[in-house]
Amino acid sequence: MATRRAVLGLLGAAVAARRAPWAAPPPSVPPAAAAPARVTRIRTLQTFRLADALLVRLEDEDGTVGWGEAAPDSIPVAEAFIRHELARFVIGEDPFDVERIWDRMFYGNHDLGPGGALPNAIAGIDLALWDLMGKRLALPACDLLGGRYRDRIRAYGSFGIGTNRRLTPADAAAKARKFVQAGFTVVKLRMQIRELQQDPQPDYVLDYARAVRAAIGPEVKLMVDINNGWTPARAIELGKRLQGELDVWFLEEPVSDQTHRLTAEVVRALDVPIIAGEKEYTRWQLRELITDAEPDYLNPDTIKAGGLTEMKKIAAIAQAYDKPIICHNTRPALGTAASLHFVASIRNCGPVIEYPDVDEFRAQLALFPEPLVFREGFLHVPMRPGLGLTPDEAAVRRAVVPS
């Protein structure tokens, strides 16, 4: 660990050398010539719109670059939000003032809605700030987030059947089998029913879950995500059968997220652990979900919920209620890297993290010369500086799609 200790020594000197602009230097501050870092300012912010992602690039006046990713729910909206509403709170700022930058981005726009587009867009900048800070200090982001509880986490292979049931039960079984062959020991079947098709008649969830369970065998753990598609009565009836007949490990978002007491009703009635929280975006929304519904596990998403700065606060709120976090994560690369640094740094991390089918993201993954490591069912925290996953900038520029 000599190298890490030496780097931490430099970190101490760097932190000492970074003074708040309003503070007089204390007498113990070493001479400037001995300091390896100094106050720097963000000079440029750029967005890169890819076919399936929105990347954010920040550069400081010394030429250090940080990369982030915003949630892709509407790439044009997130891009416009970042460029027209958020950039002015970042340009000219010291990246180490990440808390103040976050507050200014949030409170400067929260009349536009505290959930959804605002925290989605904030996350892109926030992650780029953490990447840049880590790169300036030559430390992985998790070391700046409080250090490491773990350096890897079991990943579950996550796939959906499509809003209009694009996959048949046989297709879903084949998809699940593919994850297991790739080394996953947990898979999640997303039913994507949602409120628009609530309580389908006849209900097809058991058909899919049976096909998947038969394909993966009894040893692999099975999670089922209803994507808000049931009413409590249906959820309680079929939730018992999913657990009793098919040994379902976790049941996710069985009912609408719009009314927390519906989730509370299901949590009280079922023994199978309930996951909820992917549509809560801030510490306040997660707090309300916990106190209203008491789900067994929370699944906020780093690139939806305002980035690492907000996720650390969410983790603290969750700790105060003894709730573990299972990160929602549908992204293959930068978003995953950020979530891995988050889970590395929190005590109340659940047993798994979500990971999608990489075959659907081959073009995006090819942008990263040093890929994430997935081995024997586990994703490893990329311990290079910052988020530990840096795209090839020339390749990113070639991959940009027209606005």
- For residues 361 and 32, what is the distance between their CA atoms, to the nearest angstrom? 46
* Encoded amino acid at 374, one letter: F
Q: Which stretch binds Mg ion (CB under 5 A): 3-11, 63-71, 181-189, 221-229?
A: 221-229
Q: Are 364 and 52 in contact (CB under 8 A)?
A: yes
- For residues 298 and 346, what is the distance between their CA atoms, to the nearest angstrom? 13
Per rule CB under 5 A, count of chain residues that contact Mg ion: 2
CB nearer to Mg ion: pick between 329 and 345? 329
Element at 7 (helix H, strand E):
helix 2-17
CB nearer to Mg ion: pick between 43 and 194? 194
Strand residues in 126-168 grouped as ranges (E): 152-160
CB of 31 to Mg ion, least distance (A): 54
CB nearer to Mg ion: pick between 134 and 300? 300
Q: Which stretch binds Mg ion (CB under 5 A): 164-172, 224-232, 288-296, 375-383?
A: 224-232
79 touching Mg ion, by CB under 5 A? no
Considering only residues 246 to 265 of the shown chain, the ones binding Mg ion according to CB under 5 A are 252
Q: Which stretch binds Mg ion (CB under 5 A): 161-169, 196-204, 217-225, 355-363?
A: 217-225
CB nearer to Mg ion: pick between 153 and 275? 275
Q: Which stretch binds Mg ion (CB under 5 A): 89-97, 244-252, 344-352, 371-379?
A: 244-252
93 touching Mg ion, by CB under 5 A? no
Q: CA 292, 266, 329, 181: dihedral to nearest 10 degrees? A: 160
Give Rg (Cα) of the chain.
22
3-class secondary structure for 212-236?
HHHHHCCCCEEEEECCCCECHHHHH
Q: Are 269 and 62 in contact (CB under 8 A)?
A: no
Q: Are 144 and 133 in contact (CB under 8 A)?
A: yes
- Of positions 69, 79, 225, 310, contacts Mg ion by CB under 5 A: 225
CB of 117 to Mg ion, least distance (A): 19
Judged by the rule CB under 5 A, the positions of this chain that interact with Mg ion are 225, 252
